[in-house]
Chains A and B, each alone.
Chain A
């Protein structure tokens, strides 16, 4: 018995459902997700690393109370790792066993060897399979890491939600999975793929949103620390760096400060923990010193003023 997903009735409802799982989605993103669920179209999320693209899929799976199937992309990813593969060693073993038992008959064995028990299902196939419960959330992570050939496979899959295994025939999803594709934009993904999806660019969050994320996601963080951390990261993003700090870096940093029992941020602490926010030697060097002092001063002003108004 296939259940249908409890698709939220409105964008508000979805936003609340996500918020309940500590995911703060702004309106634009929430609308995109809502439409993806409603129209049963893949959702293509693009944005800088660490803005919470992958988190959308994870949270969605929890909110919809269904399985999350994740496919991490890499260059050279092919059908045997993404879709399916026959379990050759098991097939060979089976031949030997049948031989030993003198049960080897040609036609029968050939048929027998290419049945489900000998099939290794990779993420994409698993996502299409009829399940007992609800259709899963399929996360195709960092599609930009895969090569163009793989995008080709996906086109077919995403348009029909069907794959064909020559020995078994077509396998089609009775109820298509919720597909979330993410990209860090290290290259431009082909338009043909994007055309089949709902596209959403995720920006770095503004102060208020990030503050809500930090407060929601970091256990034990005080309101004051959360504000200062957020304000500092916001300031840091105004500096031109090779790689700006993402939200995940903010969360890591806040968690680190909590672990270090800091109630406020000061210059020394930042110097010591800057490696959590910036992962680039050049960036770290360019921020250290006087510049850091300026950033901190501005952040503290902002942090306290917003605290005052709150």
Chain B
């Protein structure tokens, strides 16, 4: 076996793992052996061999193909190894499963030589990093498509909430009733001590997204993000607002995003109009809160805070909303820019009642949010109120 092949195969294994495939070390050993049998003359054979050994779910095949194409074609200009390790490591921390684009990625195929040793460009990692960190407003059409794929597959785990329901468990408090029940078979002697613990359920999430004119450059990506969220979690509700509030949970959960998108635009009549945050929040509190705010949800408000209405109304409605949820998170795409300060009156009024004020201008910030929601802890990033 070529001396370069073994480290490369191992590296490839790490990339797959990083992409969310479950690649067991034992399987990697099998793969090494198998490659010896099959040889590396034919790319196709190599692909089939590795695929047969390393993939065991249909959904993963495409992911594997992308990773394979990328990995065995790319070529490097020198210190290619290190960033790839980083690439392999990173997504695991970010989310359980990331999309093909994460590995399939945006690596330029600079290979034209016949060099058999496959390596990766240093640019590869940074290039995908560019996409992650590029402001949504500046994405090209192509990048938008790739970013959308990423968003649609983003892993959503929202942390859990303890319910009032009990189940038998191994930990937790002693279940007196159950002890009595079990002890009957020992003639009334409490021999076994069964326990019970609270059932935990994923926390629901309610998102209110601004689609007014000032948000236009971000709306498309943010909607994609909400779609991914509604589909990726069991209990998500989403609403859009500009001057009025529209519930779109149903649209978001239907079929493909593209079809959904045009239906959405038809449903939301004030798309791209002015913003009335206060009125929209009030409409939510009055008409919807009692129906959709159950089990202490996480509330996400996505808006740049440009508001034509009365800041006092915003403050009042925010305060009310805050009392009924577990955490109130405000995502502001403008927060991505270093020079931004939340100075609009509406934004200032709202900030008092916000638990977390986070940026939402690029993929990295949204991924960070996903991790953050899962972690379920409160931390304040970005600028909190500019005092």
Contact = CB atoms under 8 A, between A and B. Distances in A.
Given A186-B294, A187-B294, A242 B285 contact: yes
Contacts of A188: 291
A78 B196 CA distance: 14
Contact of B184 (A80, A85, A88): A88
Interface residues of A, number: 27
A86 B184 CA distance: 11
Contacts of A75: 163-165
Contacts of A91: 180, 184
Interface residues of B, number: 20
Interface in B277-317: 282, 285-286, 290-292, 294, 316
A113 B185 CA distance: 11
A280 B242 CA distance: 27
A75 to B, nearest CB: 4
Q: Which of B292, B294, B316 has the most CB of A within 10 A?
A: B294
Contacts of B181: 86, 88
B24 interface: no
Contacts of A95: 184, 187-188
B320 A92 contact: no
B185 to A, nearest CB: 8
A26 interface: no
Contacts of B316: 282
B177 interface: yes
A76 B163 contact: yes
Q: Which of A80, A85, A185, A187 has the most CB of B within 10 A?
A: A187
Contact of B290 (A88, A149, A185): A185
B183 A92 contact: yes
A240 B290 contact: no
B164 A92 contact: no
Interface in B21-45: none
A151 to B, nearest CB: 13
Interface string B164-183: 11100000000001001101
Given A185-B291, A186-B291, A96 B286 contact: no
Contact of B165 (A113, A149, A187, A240): A149
B290 A186 contact: yes
B177 A80 contact: yes
A147 B163 contact: yes
Interface string B141-167: 000000000000000000000011110
Contacts of B166: 76, 78
Interface string A183-208: 01111100000000000000000000
Given A75-B163, A76-B165, A92 B188 contact: yes
Nearest to A185: B291
B180 A88 contact: yes
Interface in A69-83: 74-76, 78, 80
Nearest to A49: B290
Given A76-B164, A96-B188, A187 B183 contact: no
Interface in B248-286: 282, 285-286
A238 interface: no
Contacts of B177: 80, 85, 88
A241 interface: yes
Contacts of B164: 74-76, 147
A141 B166 CA distance: 22
A282 B323 CA distance: 13
Contacts of B292: 187
Contacts of B286: 240-242
23 contacts: A75-B163, A76-B163, A76-B165, A78-B166, A88-B181, A91-B184, A92-B180, A92-B183, A95-B184, A96-B188, A99-B187, A104-B187, A147-B164, A184-B290, A185-B290, A186-B291, A240-B282, A240-B286, A241-B286, A242-B285, A242-B286, A242-B320, A282-B320
Given A185-B290, A186-B290, A188-B291, 7 more contacts: A88-B177, A92-B180, A99-B187, A184-B290, A240-B282, A241-B286, A242-B286
